[in-house]
Amino acid sequence: MTRKVFTKLLGLFVLLLVFQTVAMELILRHFVEHTPAETLHRLDREALWSGLLALAVALPLAAWAAGGVTARLQRVVDFARHIAQGDLSARLSPQGGDELSAMEAALNQTAERLDSNFAEIESRRHELATMLDSMQEAVVAVTSEGQVRWSNAVMQRIAGTEIRAGRPLVHSVRDPELLACVRGAIESREVRFGRSNSLAPGRTFEINAAPLPSGGALAVLHDVTRIEAAEKSRREFIANVSHELRTPLTSIQGYVETLIEDPKPRPGTTREFLGIIQKNVSRMSRLTEDLLALAGVESPDYKLAAQPMRASALVQDAIESLGGIVVDSGVELESAGAPDTCVIADADAMNQVFGNLVENAVKYGSSGKRIEVGAKPVAEGIEFWVRDFGPGIASEHLERIFERFYRVDKARSRESGGTGLGLAIVKHIVQVHGGRIWVESELGAGANFHFTLPLAPPVSRPEASQPAKTEA
């Protein structure tokens, strides 16, 4: 290309020279006809020599000038090649004020603009990818042929495999519900909703697949596992409360109707029925109290009046205040020792915790004749325990025993007035204190309920009085 230009320029130059020579020849011929022969002969020779001299000087000069242009054009070609290969940092260095340097400056400007536009597109793409990756939802975009365009990090995590762009979505995700939603959105050009339980074990996702303007579809997966679990637990709770209230209410209604309809009730029977009614009423009132207590400790507004308290004092208080409960049951309530270390605790809440645990030990473990309350230092703070030596709890119940309304032996628990909320309340109180609770038990070997409380921060003592420094 550049060689061609060079040849053309050279040709042009030679042509101009020929024209000039012909013109000169015509002028000279006219001059020759009117000039003496000798003078002409001399002039002829001089003209020939000067023409040859001019040609000898002009030719290298033309070659030099054309060579400079060729080199500059070659640089432009190299520059274009760099740009085509994606190297947008390439630049030309325009020299002089000719048309070629103006073109070089314009090309530089274009390259600069391209470079900054590409940089901006790249930074926006990066920003979008970061935003998509930080989303809670899983997102995947597919082409109208069902091939993955891109997917975010959550989607890859849920799929449990790398979802490669360009490959069919079905190769990475087998979930029929997600695939059906995506296919439906692509074909109908309408938003499709779905719900999947098989995408990841134990998790439920709400799927929302929308058609993309350029064809294909965008699917967003929202994890609703927690919402579903909370909803299930709420439904179960309402069913349990209704059931717990219905049982005593049905009994009260039956006995009241019998008393009303009996024209001549026997005093003994009336008394017996009223006794049963009273028992059911107090059961309902206990249930209501427990429900209120549970709602209180579960509420985000529940505030502890927590303060530093000695572990030994907490154990001693529990034994003294609960002594009355054990008197009639013939069980010994004793301390297994406790350190004087201070924990952070709310005194009233702790009464509730020890009250529930000791009451349970009396209700369900009194056959062991002994209940032990103690505390010891552990890594997390202080570990407290309430232990009985009764029949214990079978291992299959240990996991669920702190759930609301969970009772090992429903009939027996109900008989003893239990609502199944005591341990749920205790668990919440301990957790709000920043501790944890668990139970160890074996059938026939009693039950041992443990919970931990965090240590109170060390009290900073006032600096010991230093001898006054005397300035020299």
Ligand X SMILES: Nc1ncnc2c1ncn2[C@@H]1O[C@H](COP(=O)(O)OP(=O)(O)OP(=O)(O)O)[C@@H](O)[C@H]1O
Q: Does 362 bind ligand X (CB under 6 A)?
A: no
Q: Nearest distance from residue 190's CB to ligand X, in Å?
A: 51
Helix residue ranges, H only, 150-224: 153-159, 169-172, 176-188
Helix residue ranges, H only, 34-87: 37-84
Query: Interface with ligand X by CB under 6 A: which range of 38-46, 215-223, 239-247, 357-365?
Result: 357-365
Given the complex with ligand X, which of 177 and 409 has the nearer CB atom? 409
Q: Nearest distance from residue 226's CB to ligand X, in Å?
A: 24
Residue with tokens 């059931």: 243
Q: Which of 152, 280, 366, 413 binds ligand X (CB under 6 A)?
A: 413
- Kindly write out the interface string for residues 289-328 of this chain, putting x where it contacts ligand X by CB under 6 A and - elsewhere: -x--------------------------------------
Say if strands 217-223 and 138-142 run parallel, antiparallel, or are unpaired. Answer: antiparallel
CB contact at 8 A, 141 and 216: yes
Helix (H, G, I), strand (E, B) or coil at 114: helix
Q: Which of 390, 433, 437, 450 binds ligand X (CB under 6 A)?
A: 390
Structure tokens at 54: 């001019």
Q: Does 143 bind ligand X (CB under 6 A)?
A: no
Q: Nearest distance from residue 423's CB to ligand X, in Å?
A: 3
Which secondary-structure segment (H or E) carries 23? helix 2-33
Instruction: Count other Cβ atoms within 10 Å, centred on residue 321.
Output: 13
Q: Does 368 bind ligand X (CB under 6 A)?
A: no
Nearest CA-CA partner of 385 in 377, 374, 396, 393 = 374
With 0-12 / 13-18 / 19 or more C-beta atoms within 10 angstroms meaning exposed / middle / buried, residue 194 is buried
206 pairs with which residues across the strands?
195, 222
Given the complex with Mg ion, which of 196 and 413 has the nearer CB atom? 413
Q: Nearest distance from residue 188's CB to ligand X, in Å?
A: 53
Given the complex with Mg ion, which of 107 and 287 has the nearer CB atom? 287
Helix (H, G, I), strand (E, B) or coil at 135: coil
Say if strands 332-335 and 370-378 run parallel, antiparallel, or are unpaired. Answer: parallel
Given the complex with ligand X, which of 309 and 447 has the nearer CB atom? 447
Q: Which of 103, 408, 432, 445 binds ligand X (CB under 6 A)?
A: 408
Q: Nearest distance from residue 438's CB to ligand X, in Å?
A: 13
- The answer to whether the Cα torsion of 210, 213, 216, 220 is positive or negative is negative
The residues binding Mg ion (CB under 5 A) are: 360, 422
Structure tokens at 30: 């006219």
Select the residue whose beta carbon is closest to ligand X and give its number. 422
Which secondary-structure segment (H or E) carries 363? helix 347-365
Q: Nearest distance from residue 425's CB to ligand X, in Å?
A: 8
CB contact at 8 A, 381 and 342: no
Nearest CA-CA partner of 334 in 387, 271, 263 = 387
Q: Does 420 bind ligand X (CB under 6 A)?
A: yes
Query: Interface with ligand X by CB under 6 A: which range of 58-66, 109-117, 268-276, 404-412?
Result: 404-412
148 pairs with which residues across the strands?
142
Q: Nearest distance from residue 419's CB to Mg ion, in Å?
A: 8
Q: Which of 178, 185, 361, 382 binds ligand X (CB under 6 A)?
A: 361
Task: Report the alpha-carbon distance of residue 132 to residue 362 in Å, rounded.
Answer: 57
Q: Which long-range contacts (CB under 8 A, 24 or more apart) does 188-191 make?
A: none
- Kindly write out the interface string for residues 46-85 of this chain, putting x where it contacts ligand X by CB under 6 A and - elsewhere: ----------------------------------------
Q: Which of 388, 429, 453, 456 binds ligand X (CB under 6 A)?
A: 388
Number of residues engaging ligand X in binding (CB under 6 A): 22
Q: Which of 293, 358, 423, 430 binds ligand X (CB under 6 A)?
A: 423
Q: Does 418 bind ligand X (CB under 6 A)?
A: yes
Q: Nearest distance from residue 337's CB to ligand X, in Å?
A: 21
Partner interacting with residue 273 (select from Mg ion, ligand X, none; CB below 5-8 Å by kind): none
Query: Interface with ligand X by CB under 6 A: which range of 10-18, 46-54, 320-328, 417-425?
Result: 417-425
Q: Nearest distance from residue 413's CB to Mg ion, in Å?
A: 8
Helix (H, G, I), strand (E, B) or coil at 32: helix
Which residues have C-beta within 8 Å of that of residue 107, sequence separation ≥ 6?
A: 76, 79, 80, 92
DSSP state of 380: T
Q: Which positions lie near ligand X, rule CB under 6 A?
A: 290, 356, 360-361, 364-365, 388, 390, 393, 401, 406-409, 413, 418-423, 447
